[in-house]
Structure 1
Amino acid sequence: MSRIGKNPVLIPEGVKVKIQSNNIKVTGPKGSQDWDSHPEINISEVDGELYVTRLTNSSAHRSLHGTTRQIINNMVLGVSDGFAKELEINGVGYQAMVQGNRLKLQVGYSHDIYFDVPEGIKVTSDRSLIKVEGIDKQLVGTVAAKIRSFRKPEPYKGKGIRYRGEYVRSKQGKTVGE
């Protein structure tokens, strides 16, 4: 049995779960999410806990077992607490501003970069700090990675966009001849 898959998903106060065949809908104070699980993975609710079981012990079902449990757990955590990622901008003149539903980045190019924020994601900016928030963990991570990809941190001067707390190994650079 999967080590992760055999653990139950605890349902906190204020979160409602509705299971219909292989569709699961989770509703909480921050919003609602629904997801279609694999038809050969069973989801059941017992005493405020969700249990995920598989039909057979094949390798495909074993791999889906833990993944299904973790996706449901992330849905429950997302609608109750939400997820957030923070990005730091380092560099002279580098800054970010939120304009409506767009993020404007000035990160050393000859032009500004405009990023349309997808629905379900909230982006706030304090010039050198960007915070990405939402209830879908995968979407929050994808949006943060996309913003980071506009100017990845470079190892010589450390300029660029990095996750908060991310360590970027610095290099010495070339020395002029003697």
Structure 2
Amino acid sequence: MKTSEEKLLCNAEQSGFDKFYNTNFLKVKTSLLFLGVEEEMAKDITQESFLRILLLWNNFENDIARRSFLKLTSRNLWIDKYRKIKREEQFCSLFEEGSRLLEEQMDFKELQEITYQALDQYEENMRLMYFEIKLNGASYKDVSQKYQVNIKTLERYMTKMSKTVRLYLKKYYPHLGILAVFLL
């Protein structure tokens, strides 16, 4: 149990802290607002700084030392929170970018498989020519030389197979029709 002297000392310390809090709260909060901290976050950081002062109240000789520690603590807390926010934003953007790329890869792979199905009625060499031109970006001239086919014949094949793919997509996968325009 506390003696009357301890209670008196504790009350004096509490009233000293209350006075210090009331005098300096707005100053610290305003200094954080000048740093660009949002109103609510500035209030939270200021309160957290005062909590640290309260826990270390007896370690300081006077209010000047407490004020100095308070300013330093509030700025350090803001820097910590700012870094945390930036790390979270960076992680979220990397996650979103990664998931978007994964989704695009899955869409592309699905579109490739569907295109294989659509071109199933054609000979293997014709399908290979189609994919080499559409996916690998090979020129008609290179493909015609590689497969020993006349360029006009190759153009006719490509037109015919492209039409087949478009019709197949419209019929069985209408949601992928627009995607096919961009990817194939």
Q: TM-score, normalised by structure 2?
A: 0.22
Question: Between Structure 1 and Structure 2, which shows a larger proportion of strand residues?
Answer: 1
Question: Between Structure 1 and Structure 2, which shows a larger proportion of helix residues?
Answer: 2
Answer with 1 or 2: which has the greater Rg.
Answer: 2
- Structure number with the bigger relative contact order (C-alpha 8 A, sep ≥ 6) is 1
Q: TM-score, normalised by structure 1?
A: 0.23
